[in-house]
Amino acid sequence: MRTVYISLILLFVCFSQMNYGQQKKINFSSKKSKGITIQKKRLLILWDDVVFTNNKSIMHCDSAIYDRGDNSFIAYQNIKINENDSLTLFGDSLHYIGNEQKAFIYGNVKVVTQDVLLEAPSLIFNQKNKIAYYNQGAFINDRKKGYKIKSKKGIFETKIKTIFFKEDVELDHKDYDINSDTLIYNTSSQTSNIIGETQIKTENSTILCNKGWFNSNKNQSSLEGSIIIATKTYKLFADSVFYNENTGISYAEGNVKIIDDSSNIIIEGEFGTHNEKIDSAHVWKNAVLTQLDSVDTLKIYADQFIKIGDSIKNEIFCFNNVIIDGTQLKGDCDSIYFNETDSIMKCIVQPVIWMGKNQVTGDKIEFKTHKGIIYKMFVENNAMIISENDTLHYDQIKGEIITSFFEKNKMYLMNVDGDGKVIYYSKDEKDSLITEINEVTSENMNILISENQISRINFLSSPKGLTEPLNENSSSKFLENFFIYPKRTYYEKYIEANGD
């Protein structure tokens, strides 16, 4: 046991001597020098063109105090450290520990490479692995792109040309500003990785995210984690976004949502794009638009939605297989055009609208609205409104143009212009049973509506009509092109259109 113990001591001593032998003494030169002793420690004061070398590092200063015993020195004024052709450090003072190959630099510190200039009040530089550390704040200036990054703490790994920024990180670019908790920047590829809560401000938008990367060479970025893009007219939410700075277009994936607080509109889908140059957005796949108001909640399903906004107008285009689903208004058409500025909603290509018991059809149906509340409806060309009394009898109104007026999203008046035709049924006031059928034609007429039923008709031109009692043998009568359309869901309509 004693032999093993002695062997371990000898091995430790040999290892220590080998390690001490690997620690190189600092070489130095100066035009002037003086030896002094302070508290039994022999020191050498150097001045006038002082140069230290250790390994491949060359260190310059105006004056220094060199401690041979500790293999260290303290240098003053005009500090300059040449690590290689592409890395130079500057400062006001320097404490250099030769055995550890560490340089503690203070005052007006600069780290200069081919790509960046780092400025800090103090810095620690490890010469073994060529890594610089700072914890009192620093500014980094990209010498090629010209933008600046600052943070409270950071690590600069010069070998891999990567800077790790931590705490209060700010990136100042001519086109955007970034504020983040953590940012990793590669000075060669000019790629930045962000980690933690981050805010990015551009000329037209503010972006919030938790993770992502930027490539300054290609002007591209990818963002992840509860992303919010706030523009002048709406907010866009998504799980991930790929952004091209050259085009100003962001591609979004996962839980895409656009919220327009000014018009109480929400657009949702699986995918989307945002163009910051024209302040537009595009959402598609399982897409739905929701408009909220105090009277009705309106949902519009479509293959895709496009929203365009500027200082003059704010527009929304709903394309293909459109289904409208509201508590008081339902519809079916190919496309819808919203002009929020003019408060217009146009239903295009074979539109069908249902309001309570009323079915509205025409070549084009247009609504005058404000924040989801309907004030007017225009039906042009082959305009027809059908109201169900029961499964056999329908009130029918037809004309070239039908203009309807609403209060709290309920129709109360219709103006029929051009070739007006009406078939409606009269009811007994006591038991509400149908007693008469009325057929009237008039070029122009006003029709009053109460509880979704015709209550009175005012004829503005010479009417022609016929009233007949209704009995068991009476057959139902229908105007030309009468048809009751089935109500479909978006999924049913999409399957029918695509054959899937």
User: What percent of the chain has pLDDT above 70?
Assistant: 94
Per-residue model confidence as pLDDT tens digits over 350-376: 999 998 888 999 999 999 987 667 889
- 3-class SS of residue 92: strand
Regarding beta strands 87-97 and 102-113, do their DSSP bridges make them parallel or antiparallel, or are they unpaired?
antiparallel
Look-up: residue for tokens 């929203």? Answer: 307
Q: Is the pLDDT of residue 5 over 60?
A: no
d(CA 482, CA 361): 10
Q: State the sign of the Cα–Cα–Cα–Cα dihedral 439, 441, 409, 450.
A: negative
Assigned token pair, 500: 């899937």
Per-residue model confidence as pLDDT tens digits over 37-83: 888 888 999 999 999 999 889 999 999 999 988 999 999 999 999 99
Q: Is the pLDDT of residue 20 over 50?
A: no
Instruction: Output the pLDDT for position 12.
Output: 39
Instruction: Output the pLDDT for position 85.
Output: 77
Contact 217, 202 (CB under 8 A): no
- Least confidently predicted of 167-176, 191-200, 207-216, 307-316: 307-316
Instruction: Output the pLDDT for position 1.
Output: 42
d(CA 397, CA 362): 12
Q: Is the pLDDT of residue 122 over 90?
A: yes
Instruction: Output the pLDDT for position 3.
Output: 43
Assigned token pair, 326: 């509201």
Give me the residues paired with residue 82 across strands. 58, 88
Assigned token pair, 274: 């945002």
Instruction: Output the pLDDT for position 61.
Output: 96
Q: Is the pLDDT of residue 488 over 80?
A: yes
Instruction: Output the pLDDT for position 295.
Output: 67
Instruction: Indicate the helix (H) or strand (E) that contains 119.
Output: strand 116-126
Q: Quick one: 320 exposed, middle or buried, by C-beta within 10 A (0-12, 13-18, 19+)?
A: middle
Q: Is the pLDDT of residue 294 over 80?
A: no
pLDDT confidence of 16, banded at 50, 70, 90? very low
d(CA 195, CA 207): 14
Instruction: Output the pLDDT for position 60.
Output: 97
Assigned token pair, 360: 């509205």
Compute the average pLDDT of residues 339-344.
84
d(CA 366, CA 406): 13
Mean pLDDT in the chain? 87
d(CA 488, CA 499): 15
Q: Is the pLDDT of residue 433 over 90?
A: no
Per-residue model confidence as pLDDT tens digits over 261-271: 777 889 999 99
Instruction: Output the pLDDT for position 184.
Output: 93
Residue scoring higher pLDDT (216 or 7): 216
Query: How far from 283 is each of 272, 276, 280, 307, CA to CA, in Å?
Result: 4, 15, 10, 9
pTM: 0.73
User: What percent of the chain has pLDDT above 90?
Assistant: 50
Contact 325, 492 (CB under 8 A): no
Q: Is the pLDDT of residue 212 over 70?
A: yes
Instruction: Output the pLDDT for position 475.
Output: 81
Instruction: Output the pLDDT for position 23.
Output: 59
Regarding beta strands 191-202 and 205-215, do their DSSP bridges make them parallel or antiparallel, or are they unpaired?
antiparallel
Instruction: Output the pLDDT for position 6.
Output: 37
Regarding beta strands 265-275 and 102-113, do their DSSP bridges make them parallel or antiparallel, or are they unpaired?
unpaired
What is the residue type of 212?
G
Q: How far is CA 436 from the centre of its chain?
A: 61
Give me the residues paired with residue 80 across strands. 60, 90
Compute the average pLDDT of residues 487-498.
86
Instruction: Output the pLDDT for position 126.
Output: 95
Instruction: Output the pLDDT for position 421.
Output: 92
Residue scoring higher pLDDT (405 or 276): 405
**Residue whose C-alpha is closest to residue 267's, from 276, 279, 258:** 258
pLDDT confidence of 84, banded at 50, 70, 90? confident
Phi and psi at 488, nearest 5°, equal -115, 155
Largest CA distance in the chain: 132
Query: What residues have CB less than 8 Å from 277, skipping those under 6 apart?
Result: 204, 247, 248
Look-up: residue for tokens 């059809």? Answer: 361
**Residue whose C-alpha is closest to residue 252's, from 262, 260, 263, 244:** 244
Instruction: Output the pLDDT for position 450.
Output: 83
DSSP secondary-structure letter at 476?
A: P
d(CA 206, CA 185): 21
Compute the average pLDDT of residues 217-224.
85
